[in-house]
Structure 1
Amino acid sequence: MNDYNESGENQTALLELEQLEKRKTYQMKQPLAYIHPEAKIAPNVVIEPFVTIDKNVVIEEGTRIGSNVTILEGARIGKNCNIFPGAVISAIPQDLKFAGEDTVAIIGDNTTIRECVTVNRGTASKGKTVVGNNCLLMAYVHIAHDVIVGNNVIIANATQVAGEVRIDDYAIMGGSSAIHQFVHVGAHVMVQGGALLSKDVPPYVKVGNTKMSYGGINSIGLRRRGYTNEQINGIQNIYRVLYQSGLNNSDATEKIEAELPASKERDEIVLFVKNSQRGIIKGYSASSDR
């Protein structure tokens, strides 16, 4: 069989190219999905069957939307995200005071949202719910209204994050944890699975799930992220004053500022403690301080 037409073109190659383009069109313009005509979706976004995309939605390049995902009004989804089946993004808040304000739910670039995750949009309080870049929200995580999640955060399966919580960069939340409204979780924190957090968690520490207590600093995580032994030892010295000196938080922060060398980490911890609205976690577990 001659694969070439009169123009000298390879008919087999042309047919394969045509089929590829059809597959791309099928992916981008999924006939079994509902996409509101006012939604703004980049040309190469992949949309699987039975997806619902509402008006006032923006989805940027390279993102994949799995089957049965629901993306509602106010969603702003960044580049190269992967949203797995059953997730619901930008549903209205579960806040009885919500009166239909024009608010958004923002998902940063390169973020993965696994099965059945729910991310509510903001209320009049902050106007937005934010999940940063390079995050992983595992299956059944709930992100409530006005939550701010930083970059490179991992939230494990079935963790429930209440309204107006803040989780800073590189924090890791263990599975089946629950975080009380307005709690602030600092950067580089690791929280054990099953934790029930009702107090703020200062940066760089580990938290146990029994008494929600300080369990030493997250030294392994810090080393993985390039912190030196000198920096890690400096952080340990700060927390020894804060948790082992017997001083209250106010006196401890004064002692830290007066007696310990200035550093970015020192200033970050002191500022966190001073600004805490709910108070910081208590307790100490010596066996974990390494």
Structure 2
Amino acid sequence: MNSTLIHPSAVIDPTAQLGRNVRVGPGAVIEAGCVIGDDCEIRAHAIITGAARLGVGNQIGYSAVVGAEPQDLGYKGAPTRVVIGDRNILRELVTIHRGTKEGTETVIGNDNFLMTGAHVAHNCHIGNHVIIVNNVLLAGHVEIQDRAFLGGGSVVHQFTRVGELAIMRGLTRISKDVPPYFMAVDTNRVGGVNRVGMKRAGFSPEVRRSVVEAFKLLHRSTLNFPQALEQLEKESPTPEVQKIITFIRTSKRGICAGSRRDTEDEE
């Protein structure tokens, strides 16, 4: 049985497609060409525009905006869009802008939690199970990999990557990549390993220890960074450490340097 509930004050374009059991709150707007999957909730005064596509079970918070045109002076109205997966929560005032070049997309995966006031700019790619806390700012073309955690007020420069299960402390500012499992602090610094996050994710003590030792070799040894990376590759790394190595080798912006003091979480 389709129990879709649409408030009388909501505005829905006739070409928009709504799935089953969708709830649309007062004053919400769903514009032309948008697709809303089953079991989604579009709360009061939220706006879905730009032919955005939402999967199933998403919650779009009060006054959130999904699919608006990019804040890019080079954008000339080309058809682009936002694509959102399943079971995401976007809280109040979240903004997600669509791609900037024709045919491109801003992509949000599954099971993510974007808190109040977070901004996701054009062509960003966010993986799965990511937590983005209040007022985080992601510039264009940023990549946030699975299970990363971005603390409140963090800022990520365009084309920068944040690796799997990495964490950014609140108010951190980065324009260089943060490798998987590492903790970003201050400006373009990493202060240790996200040990608590790794433990909660089910990584064994041995695996966590291997990542800590990799961090120490890269950022606390007497070797310079290229020497340390080469040494790390020679040591038959675990799959997790190999993931760090591959991430570093494929970086285009460079990697955050080690901080002058340890700031990693305690277990």
Q: In structure 2, the residue corresponding to 1:67 is in which secondary structure? A: coil
Describe the superposition over 1:52-103 as per-residue Cα deviations: whole angstroms up to 9, x where unpaired.
1111111101110000001002211111111111000000101111122221
Amino acid of the residue matched to residue 225 of structure 1?
Answer: A
Offset at residue 287 of structure 1 (A) = 5.3
**Is 1:60 aligned with 2:37?**
yes
List runs of 5+ in structure 1 lacking aligned partners. Answer: 1-20
**Is 1:215 aligned with 2:202?**
no
Aligned to 1:86: 63
List runs of 5+ in structure 2 lacking aligned partners. Answer: none
Match of 1:226 among 191, 202, 222: 202
* TM-score of the superposed pair, with normalisation by structure 2: 0.94
Give the stretch that moved more between structures: 264-273 or 167-176.
264-273
Aligned to 2:250: 275
* Structure 1: distance between partners of 2:140 and 2:207: 33
Match of 1:128 among 105, 108, 113: 105
Q: In structure 2, the residue corresponding to 1:110 is in which secondary structure? A: coil
Offset at residue 141 of structure 1 (A) = 0.6
1:168 and 1:187 in contact (8 A); partners too: yes
1:249 and 1:273 in contact (8 A); partners too: no
Describe the superposition over 1:159-195 as per-residue Cα deviations: whole angstroms up to 9, x where unpaired.
1100001010000000011111111100101111111
* TM-score of the superposed pair, with normalisation by structure 1: 0.87
**Is 1:196 aligned with 2:151?**
no
1:140 and 1:158 in contact (8 A); partners too: yes
Tell me how large the CA RMSD over aligned residues is: 1.8
Give the 5 Å matches for 1:80-159: 80-124=57-101, 127-159=104-136
* Structure 2: distance between partners of 1:155 and 1:243: 26
Aligned to 1:11: none
* Structure 2: distance between partners of 1:92 and 1:74: 11
Instruction: Name which one, 1 or 2, has greater alpha-carbon Rg.
Output: 1
Match of 2:53 among 76, 80, 83: 76
* Structure 1: distance between partners of 2:30 and 2:64: 12
* Structure 2: distance between partners of 1:289 and 1:44: 42
In the alignment of these two chains, the number of paired residues is 265
* Structure 2: distance between partners of 1:172 and 1:157: 12
